[in-house]
Amino acid sequence: MPLKPSSKAWMQRHINDTYVQLAAREGYRSRSAYKLLEINERDKLLLPGTFVIDLGAAPGGWSQVAGARVGAKGRVFAIDLLPMQELAHVSFFQGDFTDLEIQAQLREELPKGGVDLVICDMSPNMTGIPNADQARVFNLAEEALEFAKGVLKPSGAFLVKVFQGADFEVFRQSLFASFLKVGPRKPKASREESRELYMLARGLRPSAAPEL
């Protein structure tokens, strides 16, 4: 079946994308790796010995970056509905992070006291209906936030992708209600025309840590 003009345009842009080409040369699984690399360069989230949970990890671009930086003394726990090839210093769980069975499996491997960082670069399947898609984005972000609150140590951090628009301010206030410090990050690897934005929240408030 021939590609639609819009699909052809997307494919051409993808092929010519600087970060797609760079990822191919440098061996990263996705261009999104450079978003985490840039954020980490600024915020120093990934240090040797760090314990990380990567939500929506496949194909593994963020887990690849995280695993290389936490090293043998740390660990990345990656979760996704889709399969993911093995990576050094990464334990993979295939399933829905909101599923109680997956959470039980994860709990058996988490360090006592919680993890240092939860990262989430997920996007829901889009319908093309703006209002519906916006609601799905923030519903997913809220679920990730609730999950993070249950697994982070008090000094931990949460990095999540959202999109600017309706419901953004509501979600930002949810972050402020749960964390001491909250701020936006817009890495250069995010396409200029995209409304994509990352929110970094650090330091759980004492009242915001339900048990997983």
User: Which of the residues are catalytic?
Assistant: 161
- Amino acid identity for residue 181 in this structure: K
Which phi and psi (to 5°) does residue 192 adopt? Answer: -55, -35
Q: Tell me the helices (H) and strands (E) count for the chain, helix number first.
A: 7, 7
DSSP secondary structure, 172-187, as one string: HHHHHHHEEEEEEE--
Contact between 52 and 46 (Cβ < 8 Å): yes
**On the CB side of 44, how many CA atoms lie within 13 Å of its CA?**
1
Tokens for 94, please give them.
């295939």
Contact 39, 159 (CB under 8 A): yes
